[in-house]
Amino acid sequence: MDTPRSGGRTALGALASLLLLALTAVTGPAATATAAGHVPPAADPQAVRDWNALATDTISAHVGATRPSGQAVIWHGFVSAAVYNAVVGIQGRYAPYNWRARGPSTASPEAAAVTAAHRVLLTYFPASQAPLDTAYAASLARIPDGTAKRQGVAFGERAAGHLVALREGDGRFAPVEFTAAPAPGVWRPTPPAHQPFIDPWLGRLRPMLLASPSQFRPGGPPALPSARYARDVNEVKSMGARTGSPRTARQTETALFFGGNLTVQLQSAFRDHSARHHLDIAGTARLFAAANASATDAVVTAWDAKLHYGFWRPVTAVQLAGTDGNPATEADPQWQPLLVTPPHPDYLSGHTTVTGAVVRTLTGILGTPHLDLTFSSEATGTTRHYDRAARLNGDMIDARVWGGIHFRTADIDGCEAGSRIGGWTLAHYFRPLRPAPPHATPPAPSACPHGSAG
């Protein structure tokens, strides 16, 4: 039983708790007073996730949610890098991306993050100013007014301005053309729309991390007379056919699951992972920046190879197999793939190059081979959870074959190139300013399977 004195302390403690809760309700959790009476600058990681979702919506509205190009990836790379610099430039835990500026330690990383995201999106998508400004005002309203907020806003503007300046003259929308004449093994527009090569400038874009678009360009597709080429053609002809394929229901669902907008799937998976694992604002910003910057250079690498090799798609190869000079292939002029073939060459696969880069980067950033990523698909209305990088890479490789739109070689070589990009990312960017703890587990060099994961 409490004595009158201890009861008084209890009552005072309860009153203090109520006052603290009231303060939190008014100013938000980031402004909760510490025991020493200091109010730390607002640093809620949810702000980074919210603006990643806003970036996804904005980019999809302008680039097109179903556009069969890697263009959407690069905008996420730019936004995420600016947000990362805005946060770590204040907190100082990780090396900034191509920047040496530091913000005041008293600034709000949250205010800096939302300001950087808003400014970069507004710069590249000015037609979305009204919804972006509305969202920005709402984000700032959740941050307590004061010096920390003002300093954060100012530093976020600097981070965004620096990123935009870095990307000036990088080759976006340059008049790059694919000029190779149709011939056996050479890409040409594919049915049903017979569209020209989409966004070929991506293959000449200045990378975010690599020294050049061709830095990790692989050796190329197999020669038409080779046994490997025949295996590729005959596999996709059987397993990727729209009708009459021996695919299982699970294999068909895998092809459809990853047949949509990979960029949207990845961003959603990143948001879910960072929330469930309670990453702080710097950890969240780092995850998005490292993954999206490596994905950006994966797109550049894939499009560089597409431009350089210009290899034909399965639908063309199967229908015109009588012209390839390989006795182990047989033409089927009526053959159609399960999925609609995107309007750009086969080699490399953009999906597997991006996925290979992202999973290699994430396993290094997280310090574990366990990804713990949950993907959803609008195409199938289902979700899938991936704990291991090899399983995700394997499903992605198989999905493009079972969808009938890529040869296995283009998928595997894409995954391997992506993995090398991820390794480069980890070695040169987004690194902790302090050494990693001795128990940190380095990821395997590559998690790209060479056989079917089905």
At 60-108, the pLDDT tens digits run 999 976 678 999 999 999 999 999 999 999 999 999 999 999 999 999 9
Question: How far, in Å, are 126, 198, 249, 325, 449 from residue 441 at the CA level?
Answer: 43, 40, 37, 49, 21
Q: At 444, is the pLDDT very low, low, confident or very high (cuts 50, 70, 90)?
A: low
Domain limit, last residue, from 145, 166, 187 = 166
Q: Is residue 40 part of a domain?
A: no
Q: Would you state the pLDDT for residue 260?
A: 87
| Cβ-based burial of 265 (10 A; exposed 0-12, middle 13-18, buried ≥19) | buried
CATH of the domain at 351: 1.10.606.10
- Bridge-based pairing of strands 370-377 and 382-388 is antiparallel
pLDDT digits (tens, 9 = 90+) for 14-51: 333 333 333 333 333 333 344 444 578 999 999 999 99
Q: Residue 381: helix, strand or coil by DSSP?
A: coil
* Residues 233, 125 share a domain: no
pLDDT digits (tens, 9 = 90+) for 324-365: 999 999 999 999 999 999 999 999 999 999 999 999 999 999
Q: Is the pLDDT of residue 408 over 70?
A: yes
* Residues 391, 321 share a domain: yes
Q: Is the pLDDT of residue 152 over 60?
A: yes
Q: At 445, is the pLDDT very low, low, confident or very high (cuts 50, 70, 90)?
A: low
Q: Would you state the pLDDT for residue 236?
A: 98
* Residues 161, 285 share a domain: no
Q: Would you state the pLDDT for residue 440?
A: 53
* Residues 226, 159 share a domain: no
Q: Is the pLDDT of residue 8 over 90?
A: no
Q: Is residue 7 part of a domain?
A: no
* Residues 228, 96 share a domain: no
Residue 247: domain span: 222-428
Q: Would you state the pLDDT for residue 306?
A: 98
Amino acid at 293: A
Residues 6 or more apart whose Cβ sits within 8 Å of residue 236? 314, 318, 337, 401, 404, 406, 407, 408
Over range 291-316, report the average pLDDT: 98
Which structure tokens are listed for 342? 């995107």
* Residues 228, 157 share a domain: no
The secondary structure of 277-345 as a DSSP string is TT--HHHHHHHHHHHHHHHHHHHHHHHHHHHHH-BPPHHHHHHTGGGS--TT----TT--BSSPPPSS-
Q: Would you state the pLDDT for residue 157?
A: 98
Which alpha helices (DSSP H) does 142-186 contain, by range?
Answer: 147-166
* Residues 240, 131 share a domain: no
Q: Would you state the pLDDT for residue 1?
A: 34
Q: Is residue 15 part of a domain?
A: no
The secondary structure of 174-226 as a DSSP string is ------PPP-TTB----TTT-PPPS-GGGGGSPPSSSSSTTTT----SPPTTS
Across the chain, mean pLDDT equals 90
Q: Residue 50: helix, strand or coil by DSSP?
A: helix
pLDDT digits (tens, 9 = 90+) for 276-288: 999 999 999 999 9
CATH of the domain at 66: 1.20.144.10
* Residues 232, 127 share a domain: no
Q: Is residue 439 part of a domain?
A: no
Contact 377, 339 (CB under 8 A): no
Which structure tokens are listed for 318? 């199967």
* Residues 235, 151 share a domain: no
Q: Is the pLDDT of residue 113 over 50?
A: yes
* Residues 423, 295 share a domain: yes
Q: Is residue 268 part of a domain?
A: yes
Q: At 368, is the pLDDT very low, low, confident or very high (cuts 50, 70, 90)?
A: confident
Which structure tokens are listed for 236? 């996709």
* Residues 246, 153 share a domain: no
Q: Would you state the pLDDT for residue 3?
A: 32
pLDDT digits (tens, 9 = 90+) for 159-218: 999 999 999 999 999 999 999 999 999 999 999 999 999 999 999 999 999 999 999 999
Is the whole model's pTM more than 0.85, yes or no?
yes
Q: Would you state the pLDDT for residue 67?
A: 77
Q: Is residue 12 part of a domain?
A: no
Q: Is the pLDDT of residue 7 over 50?
A: no
Q: Is residue 208 part of a domain?
A: no
Total domains present in the chain: 2
Domain limit, last residue, from 166, 188, 211 = 166
* Residues 284, 138 share a domain: no
Q: Is residue 445 part of a domain?
A: no
